[in-house]
Structure 1
């Protein structure tokens, strides 16, 4: 109870989640064994970070920084616009399709939300969309990035739980694409009722081809990364380093728009983002070890199983817990804390590890856009100046659609594992 009150007390006070978990973990160690146990903390931090696949995260972050600096974002948006801009709600469709193209660059929902919040949201408002609706579309599309690989959340889950990261990447392809299709269907449904604007005419084949030529270098990158991982040519870490080399080649040799000072700025920004992620992982390692020592995962598992032995009920309880807690805290921290607790529950009901992984990733990603404390809502509110509650009102149709996709994949293991099994995972 002491650890519980320290954890939530510091969280309510607004301390960074990494600091909160570190303090709560150290308090737990002191309560169990005094200074002797506190001395274990450095080794737990080291062991928590000494996982080779974690190297993929800073590489993917740096590759995204470089690709953004080269103006690839604008080229991808232009290509998406010439493909779907002639539909009613064309820029909203463009926003969603751009999220699919952009997913192979960043793999982070908040990064996508920030990028499109600065570019596409103002463009949509200028064309006649309401700002809350433009923000809602951007929030709904932002979770496509960390669902379609590469995904930092999948790297963390696979590394911690000993699950194939390549297999997890494969499981993310189909649900990510379906999120895009369902959200575009919702936009089409709302098009007439909201009188959404559209382009006067369809782009010609020549215009489409020109836009494709302009964006082809960006579209090739995820093919190189995913193809190498899924076909066993490279590990995720090696693929991430290749992505950095490819992005540097485009920026320095092809577009010639990266100076030494630009590169240093991107390295510093990558270091800051990576440092925050690794601080959370390190702190969660201390707290996670204390949880295991106190047999809390087993206690919670027994409590859940005492509620019902029905696998469907247990799976619904897991999803509800992920969705609720994911709205309140950093999802990477929650994954590190909850995965050792909840994964044994998924094993007890016979879930395939890859199937359980995509359920975890989808649920936590959806929580990023869920009121009251969804991180993507905060990002869009701060970037655009729009109130969160107004964004949330226009977000509900998209949220319901994405929750439906989560439930379909949660209760359809054949569908969830179709692509991984096709690729031999």
Structure 2
């Protein structure tokens, strides 16, 4: 128990003083091994290498690169134009356009921060120019950005699948309805808020103009169809789908929209490499950390403690929601999945929770955590894009959070909202 105490105390101490989480995990693990004294430190590089030596994990850097290529290749602007023609005539239409565009872009990027930055960079100046308040405008970008980790392809869902062995294809498919529901609920809240604030509508676009913007955006809209269609059609694996996404993004950016060139392509490679390296380092160090937790029987102790309090699946899922929501306020999404899923997943299986449903619940909670004060990453990104202070965003996001909490309960206790599409697909084939 002493080793477990040292492991957790060193981690908490390093996080409190502001150490990066990947290094905090590694140093806590090393401190625990030194205190144990019976395991040589040569195990550290072995565990780090083993954690990342996975064909499936190759999907992460490729999806990161595909998102970068789509973001800078003209896709985000065309998606915004199409969404604007569809929804701009409704009261507070530009707020709805922002969230709808984020949902479209989420089906390309797999990242909440990238979605917030890409759509916010286009929509924030446009909304401000049309008289929308800064805090209302900025928070809409943050809320829409959270859809990036729910709507497939989703990097957190990939990592969840790697850890648990759940089918990544099934996880992608199960994330579609919750993601679209999230978009619809957030759009409803934005519409209600816009009506109270008296924002005017834009002129309704003609059918001809809408058709033109659809054709312009169709190359971006086609990408998630190719990815999911290829996976479920048995054409390629999720990892191979990520490579296909990169090739597709390159062809669209260089030869169709012609907004990519070799200079910005190099900068995107560098940025994607840095982002991927950060994620992979986090996966490696978290694997080392969870390995030590396992040999010290920490997950088993937590499992026993939880099952001694309740054996009700409903109560357990409520507890999971609370834990993941709170964790999402403070830590990176990938880090939370790597740390908490090995603890809660065995309990979920023991209580009869479907692995795919559990993954969707966990990731949706973490998505909401990204717009929850005090450290919601999408709020930070939106604040950086807009210049609006975090204090103002914290107040403006409250109506969306209330709606999100209700939606979490709905997704938790109505499994068919995520699993129903799997059953329909199984029947169709």
Q: TM-score by structure 2 length?
A: 0.96
CA distance in 2, matches of 1:287, 1:267: 30
> Which residue is 2:179 aligned to?
176
Give the alignment of 1:199-214 within 5 angstroms: 199=202, 201-214=203-216
Contact 1:128 1:197 in 2 (8 A): no
Superposition pairs of residues 142-157 of structure 1, within 5 angstroms: 142-157=145-160
Q: Deviation string for 1:65-122 (max 9, x for gaps)?
A: 1112211111110000000000000100100110111112211001111223322112
Provide the C-alpha distance between the structure 2 equivalents of 1:311 and 1:217, rounded to a whole number of angstroms. 43
SS at match of 1:406: helix
Maintained 8 Å contact 2:26/2:289: yes
Are 2:260 and 1:275 aligned? no
Q: How far apart are the structure 2 equivalents of 1:307 and 1:151?
A: 34
Greater displacement, 186-195 / 144-153: 186-195
Aligned 8 A contact 2:74 2:257 in 1: no
Structure 2 Cα separation of the partners of residues 354 and 293 of structure 1 = 27
Distance in 2 between residues matched to 1:70 and 1:309, nearest whole Å: 51
Give the aligned partner of residue 42 of structure 2. Answer: 39
Cα drift, residue 415 of structure 1 = 2.6
Q: How does 1:105-254 map to 2 (within 5 A)?
A: 105-199=108-202, 201-254=203-256
Equivalenced residues, count: 423
Are 1:16 and 2:20 matched, yes or no? yes
Question: Is the Cα contact below 8 Å between 1:148 and 1:177 reproduced in 2?
Answer: yes
Give structure 1 stretches of 5+ with no counterpart: none
User: What SS does the corresponding residue of 2:397 show, helix, strand or coil?
Assistant: helix
1:350-365 aligned within 5 A: 350-365=352-367
Q: Tell me if the contact between 1:129 and 1:197 (Cα under 8 Å) persists in the aligned partners.
A: no
Secondary structure at the residue paired with 1:203?
coil
- My pick for the range that moved more, 163-172 or 103-112, is 103-112
Distance across 2 between alignment mates of 1:222 and 1:197: 33
Secondary structure class of the residue paired with 1:141: helix
Q: What are structure 2's unaligned runs of at least 5 residues?
A: none
RMSD of aligned C-alpha atoms?
A: 1.3
Report the Cα distance in structure 2 between the residues aligned to 1:192 and 1:66, rounded to whole angstroms: 36
Q: Tell me the TM-score normalized by structure 1.
A: 0.97
Instruction: Please give the secondary structure, in 2, of the residue aligned with 1:88.
Output: coil
